[in-house]
Structure 1
């Protein structure tokens, strides 16, 4: 089939390796390009249809475009090359390959962190803290973008119900787009959970490997991020606190629930 030949050309061009990862521009934003924004999505839509998945060809709304732009930074990790499997992410985004993010384990981020050379061990705590803060700063606007897409999908369903002259294939197209949007939202939720688990795993292991009081600041950042993770897991993207810096929920610190170490080590 023609689309299989196109895939073969991509593979022969070496785009199954270095070319597949989407280029990153300023502020971690995706750079636009023919390969990643036209060729690969086209090939991916053909492959997805062949897998029996819903594929829509509706024009993308501004809200949908913004959602994809804002969620993208959570799906990759440009600040720590490929600990979030950048190549798999791009193949999954363009639907050339199936979803693989379910298979990720949270130790990868810590492995990258501990094998990266720093002048001071405390710098690793600073690094984790910066990454958590970056997620915390951008997650409210990402929630708002997702909420806007959910409203677009709702409006499409209302329009279909009230306009009897719409053809059946258009209705099927709308249903396919709604599924695609929901799959993307589900992917974002998994990515946010994966990031939180990766940060938590790293902090726990840093506490063992290089204990330092700076860990308390990182733990506080995790506590602030946790309500957003919980809301994402509930599918709550549209509540009134989405744009606020706090949620009014207090998460106990891991230091509050840690069993105190009462072992006495005698000096020799």
Structure 2
């Protein structure tokens, strides 16, 4: 029976993947995920079966409000609706619903520059402004995302205490599975944030060579601000333990334009 169910799930996945094509999760107002039976129920159900087949923990716990909030906020960093195809939106959706394992580790940050270069801009200066605007969109939502992640870390801590006091072996297993899932989502956010930083940084380096302008300084300053969050995420410092606040201002990174390239005016 288990083998039959596995074969059936695999067959459904093949048919589903073939019909999916380039369909990513639908996006609603303000870049939020739009409700979808396919993406919210069917794909996750099949994905859970696939995850079990890969030997990954799968929790059947209901989501807490904090976990739902974190998932919604993290999702915004896993895709890039404001820049369309450069962020592997379809691959992200397959990974989010666990139809595949982690594929984001092989994403190519050069895709962002290629997107910029192939897009028609009225002025080469506007290309720099586009990069700056994309970074601004990230910077505007990172603090709330860090808070949401911090809240989930606390939920997992409280679950651990509850399980040790009143939990059953089954509850302990489910709590461990949910913590694993949450840790995986947090790690994915960290990789996604670093990927965005690397993509923006690579684009600025290429633009400095291709169309040098004084606007590069503004973009470089915004990248420096983004780098602080990347460092904190990699250190898993989402709750401010390393700096005492959500916004951390450590020693500034060296500017890539400090040595004084010549700009066209």
- Whether TM-score is above 0.5 comes out as yes
> How many residue pairs get matched?
253
Runs of 4+ in 1 over 6 A off after TM superposition: none
Is this contact kept in 2: 1:106–1:194, CA < 8 A? yes
Query: 1:85 Cα shift?
Result: 0.3
Instruction: Find the counterpart in structure 1 of residue 96 from structure 2.
Output: 93
Deviation by residue 1:86-143 (Cα, 9 ceiling, x = unmatched): 0000000000011111101211100000010111111110100000011111100000
CA distance in 2, matches of 1:139, 1:187: 14
* Superposition deviation, residue 9 in structure 1: 4.0
Residue in 1 that maps onto 2:230: 229
- In the alignment, which residue of structure 2 is the partner of 1:196? 197
Structure 2 stretches lacking a partner, 5+ long: none
Answering whether residue 124 of structure 2 is matched by residue 121 of structure 1, we say: yes
1:247 and 1:135 mapped to 2: Cα distance?
A: 17
TM-score calculated relative to the size of structure 1: 0.90
Displacement, 1:82? 2.0
Show CA shifts across 1:217-261 (max 9, x none): 00111111111111001000001311x4x63543332222x3x57
Counterpart in 2 of 1:215? 216
Paired residue for 2:75, among 72, 75, 78? 72
Q: Secondary structure at the match of 2:257?
A: helix
Residue aligned with 1:252, SS? coil
Report the Cα distance in structure 2 between the residues aligned to 1:236 and 1:248, rounded to whole angstroms. 13
User: 3, 8, 31: which is aligned to 2:9?
Assistant: 3
Corresponding residue for 1:266? none
Report the TM-score, using the length of structure 2 for normalisation: 0.91
Whether contact under 8 Å (1:76, 1:82) holds in the other structure is: no
Q: Any gaps of 5 or more consecutive residues in structure 1? A: 263-268
Residue 52 in structure 1 maps to residue 55 in structure 2: yes
With over 3 angstroms needed to count, the CA separation of the structure-2 counterparts of 1:261 and 1:135, relative to structure 1, is: closer
Q: Does 1:241 align with 2:217?
A: no
Write 1 or 2 for the structure with the bigger share of helix: 2
CA distance in 2, matches of 1:104, 1:11: 20
**Equivalent residues of 1:227, 1:249 under 8 A apart:** no
SS at match of 1:250: coil
**Is 1:35 the equivalent of 2:38?**
yes
CA separation of 1:145/1:261 partners in 2, compared to 1, >3 Å: closer, same or farther? closer
Whether contact under 8 Å (1:129, 1:221) holds in the other structure is yes
